[in-house]
Amino acid sequence: MHELKIAEELSAMVSYHAAEAGLRVVERVNISVGQFVQVVPDLLEAAFRIAAMDSVASAARLEIEIIAAEMRCRRCGTGYSPDDDLHACMACGSLDIDVVHGKELFIKSIEGE
Amino acid sequence: MKDILDRNQNKAEEVRTLLREKKVMMVNIISSPGAGKTTLLERTCEALADKTRIGVIEGDVATDRDARRLQKYNIPIVCINTGGGCHLDSHSISKVLGHFALDNLDLLFVENVGNLICPSQFDLGETFKLAVVSTAEGDDKPAKYPMLFTGARAVILNKTDLIPYTNFNVAAFESDIVSLNPGITIIKTSATGGEGTDRWIGWLTSQLESFRAG
Q: What is the pTM of this model?
A: 0.89
* Chain B closest-CA separation from residue A87 CA (Å): 6
On whether residue A54 sits in a domain, the answer given is yes
> According to the CATH classification, is domain B6-207 in 3.40.50.10540?
no
Question: Where do the DSSP E strands lie in A1-113?
Answer: 26-34, 61-67, 70-73, 79-80, 97-101, 105-112
What average pLDDT does range A81-90 have in this prediction?
76
Please judge whether B117 and A2 are an interchain contact, meaning their C-beta atoms are less than 8 angstroms apart: yes
On whether residue A106 sits in a domain, the answer given is yes
Question: Per-residue confidence at B214, pLDDT binned at 50, 70, 90?
Answer: confident
On whether residue A74 sits in a domain, the answer given is no
- B193 phi, psi to nearest 5 deg: -85, -20
Q: What pLDDT, on a 0 to 100 scale, did the predictor assign at position A96?
A: 80
Mutation target to probe the A interface, by most A beta carbons within 10 A, among B4, B11, B116, B179 is B4
DSSP string, B20-36: HHTT-EEEEEEE-TTSS
Please judge whether A106 and B180 are an interchain contact, meaning their C-beta atoms are less than 8 angstroms apart: no
Residue A93 confidence (pLDDT) above 90: no
Q: What pLDDT, on a 0 to 100 scale, did the predictor assign at position A88?
A: 78
In this complex, the residue of A5, A32, A95 whose CB is nearest that of residue B182 is A95
Please judge whether B5 and A9 are an interchain contact, meaning their C-beta atoms are less than 8 angstroms apart: yes
Write out pLDDT tens, residues A49-63. Answer: 999 999 999 999 999
Domain segments of chain B as ranges: 6-207
Spatial separation of the C-alpha atoms in residues A28 and A40, rounded to whole Å: 19
Q: How many domains does chain A have?
A: 1
CATH number of the domain at A42, please. Answer: 3.30.2320.50
Please judge whether B122 and A38 are an interchain contact, meaning their C-beta atoms are less than 8 angstroms apart: no
Helix axes B6-21, B90-97, angle to 10 degrees: 30
Write out pLDDT tens, residues B76-119. Answer: 999 998 877 888 999 999 999 999 999 999 999 999 999 998 89
Other beta carbons less than 10 A from residue A21's beta carbon: 10
On whether residue A9 sits in a domain, the answer given is yes
What average pLDDT does range B8-19 have in this prediction?
97
Question: Per-residue confidence at A113, pLDDT binned at 50, 70, 90?
Answer: very high
Q: What pLDDT, on a 0 to 100 scale, did the predictor assign at position B82?
A: 83
On whether residue A61 sits in a domain, the answer given is yes
- A33 phi, psi to nearest 5 deg: -130, 125
Question: Per-residue confidence at B201, pLDDT binned at 50, 70, 90?
Answer: very high
Sign of CA dihedral A95, A96, A102, A104: positive
Q: Which residues contact A77 (CB under 8 A, 6 or more apart)?
A: none
Write out pLDDT tens, residues B172-186. Answer: 999 999 988 989 999
Write out pLDDT tens, residues A18-67. Answer: 999 999 999 999 999 998 888 999 999 999 999 999 999 999 999 999 99
ipTM surpasses 0.90? no
What mean pLDDT, rounded, does chain B reach? 94
